[in-house]
């Protein structure tokens, strides 16, 4: 089996365009997911433990529903099922909100877990020193929560990136969609899919490196040793 690079001569503008769209979907979906997760995670952590409440029930139901079903099912349901109940959404809208809601469920748990990893003694100490709730969250909770969650945030960003490939089934012309089209037109499979893997791998490595650098920088700012 030879590796024919000349195949890419005609296809690289298309692949580049797909790559750009993949990055756009990834950033938009991640931003939405991070925003949802940050708010819901903070709300969850503010509720008294062990006491049932409506807010906790609603957030838990959201997390379990979106974390408990495959993204593929959610997308099919919204895109193919939506019009049957009178909701017609464009592929891009379904794709970005789908990714955002799906990622948001995971980010909620990541942020909640980050906060609950802060020793309770610190929060009690801050309170007995007269910290207001806002001061407590800004000075004690958020910096540590961010540091504790960073590895998982980077991990989830990578998951969201790879899940953008699932959006190709909605006929969104992102990288996987363009590569699949290329294989159908050229009957070459090895070259396009290797290019696809390299494209995702570059972005994943970039994310992993940035995540580690952010962790180091945050540690430095908080005055912690690496």
Partner 1 sequence: MTAILKASSLVSVVGVAELMRVSENIVARSQQPVEWYCLAGLLYLAMNLLIAGTGRRLERGLGRGFARVAL
Q: Among the candidate windows 6-14, 67-75, 188-196, 207-215, which touches partner 1 by CB under 8 A?
A: 67-75
Structure-token pair, residue 179: 């590569």
* Count, residues near partner 1 per rule CB under 8 A: 35
Q: Is 69 in the site for partner 1 (CB under 8 A)?
A: yes
Q: Among the candidate windows 8-16, 18-26, 77-85, 193-201, which touches partner 1 by CB under 8 A?
A: 77-85
Q: Is 23 in the site for partner 1 (CB under 8 A)?
A: no
Q: Among the candidate windows 25-33, 40-48, 199-207, 215-223, which touches partner 1 by CB under 8 A?
A: 40-48
Instruction: Answer yes or no: are the C-beta atoms of 192 and 186 closer than 8 Å.
Output: yes
Instruction: Answer yes or no: are the C-beta atoms of 142 and 48 closer than 8 Å.
Output: no
Q: How far apart are CA 164 and CA 18, in angstroms?
A: 11
Q: Is 101 in the site for partner 1 (CB under 8 A)?
A: no
Structure-token pair, residue 219: 């540690």
Q: Is 52 in the site for partner 1 (CB under 8 A)?
A: no
Q: How far is the CB of 64 from partner 1 (least distance, A)?
A: 6
Site of tokens 């997390």 = 63
Nearer to partner 1, 85 or 226 (CB): 85
Q: Among the candidate windows 7-15, 22-30, 44-52, 203-211, which touches partner 1 by CB under 8 A?
A: 44-52
Centroid of chain to Cα 114: 16
Binding partner 1 (rule: CB under 8 A), the pick from 2, 3, 49, 226 is 49
Q: Among the candidate windows 70-78, 93-101, 207-215, 218-226, which touches partner 1 by CB under 8 A?
A: 70-78
Q: Is 124 in the site for partner 1 (CB under 8 A)?
A: yes
Q: Is 76 in the site for partner 1 (CB under 8 A)?
A: yes
Q: How far apart are CA 77 and CA 83, in angstroms?
A: 10
Name which of 80, 71, 33, 27 is nearest 167 in CA terms: 71
Nearer to partner 1, 77 or 148 (CB): 77
User: Hey, which residues between 167 and 226 contact partner 1 (CB under 8 A)?
Assistant: none
Instruction: Answer yes or no: are the C-beta atoms of 59 and 43 closer than 8 Å.
Output: yes
Name which of 201, 183, 205, 184 is nearest 192 in CA terms: 183
Instruction: Answer yes or no: are the C-beta atoms of 168 and 4 closer than 8 Å.
Output: no
Centroid of chain to Cα 167: 14
Note the residue count of the chain.
Answer: 226
Q: Which positions touch partner 1 (CB under 8 A)?
A: 42, 45-50, 64-65, 67-74, 76-77, 80-81, 84-85, 115-116, 120-121, 123-124, 133, 136-137, 141, 159, 166
């Amino acid at each position: 089996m030879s590796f024919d690079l000349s195949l890419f001569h005609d296809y690289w503008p298309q692949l580049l365009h797909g790559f750009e769209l993949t990055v756009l979907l990834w950033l938009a979906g991640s931003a939405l997911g991070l925003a949802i997760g940050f708010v819901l995670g903070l709300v969850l952590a503010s509720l008294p433990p062990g006491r049932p409440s409506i807010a906790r029930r609603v957030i838990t139901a959201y997390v379990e529903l979106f974390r408990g079903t495959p993204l593929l099912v959610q997308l099919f349901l919204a895109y193919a099922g939506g019009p049957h109940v009178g909701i017609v959404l464009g592929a891009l809208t379904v794709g970005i909100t789908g990714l955002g809601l799906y990622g948001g469920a995971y980010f909620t748990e990541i942020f909640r877990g980050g906060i609950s990893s802060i020793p309770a003694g610190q929060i009690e100490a801050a309170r007995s020193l007269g910290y207001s709730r806002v001061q407590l969250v800004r000075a004690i909770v958020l910096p540590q929560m961010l540091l504790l969650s960073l590895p998982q945030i980077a991990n989830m960003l990578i998951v969201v990136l790879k899940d953008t490939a699932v959006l190709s089934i909605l006929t969104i012309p992102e990288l996987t969609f363009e590569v699949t089209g290329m294989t159908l037109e050229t009957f070459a499979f090895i070259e396009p899919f290797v290019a696809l893997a390299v494209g995702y791998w570059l972005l994943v490595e970039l994310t992993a490196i940035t995540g580690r650098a952010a962790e180091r920088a945050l540690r430095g700012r908080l005055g912690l040793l690496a």
